[in-house]
A = this chain, B = another copy of it.
Amino acid sequence: MPHCVIARRVHFNAAHRLHNAARSDEWNRATFGPCNNLNYHGHNYELDVHVEGEIDPETGYVLDVGILKKVVDEAVIVHLDHRNLNLDLPYFADRIPSTENLAVFIWEQLAPRIPRGRLARIRLWETPRNYVDYEGN
């Protein structure tokens, strides 16, 4: 059977602050600029989840995008949506919640839970004009 990639776009929004506690306030302001704002700022994130696999002849699916949506909601969205990444997620207690690190977090949550095929790539949009692609290594 042919194999292909299926993708589902999901949405969440969150607050965050880019700050490295091991460095001085001056360094943080110079490095992160307005993203270092003490009181946080926030984004509407869009997440494209790509799963690669063979098409199942019985269903015509690599993986039902409805099932994929449910997996993403339970493994990722419930932890991130309407949250503060710095304060509400233990993972970011000692990591900077940049788009890059957030993509790695999402990958780690999601990759082991894909029920058919394999997670091939995630694209995480922080704004409509910047995004990160991560493929798990």
Contact = CB atoms under 8 A, between A and B. Distances in A.
Chain A interface residue bracket vs B:
35 or more
Interface in A81-110: 81-84, 87-88, 95-101, 103-104
B101 A60 contact: yes
User: Which of A7, A87, A103 has its CB near the most chain B CB atoms (within 10 A)?
Assistant: A7
Nearest to A36: B82
Contacts of A83: 37, 39, 41
Given A23-B58, A58-B23, A6 B43 contact: no
Q: How many copies does the complex hold?
A: 6
B98 A59 contact: yes
A97 B7 CA distance: 17
Contacts of A6: 99-100, 130-132
| The 8 nearest A-B residue pairs measured at CB | A42-B42, A60-B98, A60-B96, A34-B82, A39-B84, A15-B15, A5-B133, A15-B42
Interface of A: 2-11, 13-16, 18, 20, 23, 31-35, 37, 39-44, 50, 55, 58-62, 64-66, 81-84, 87-88, 95-101, 103-104, 127-137
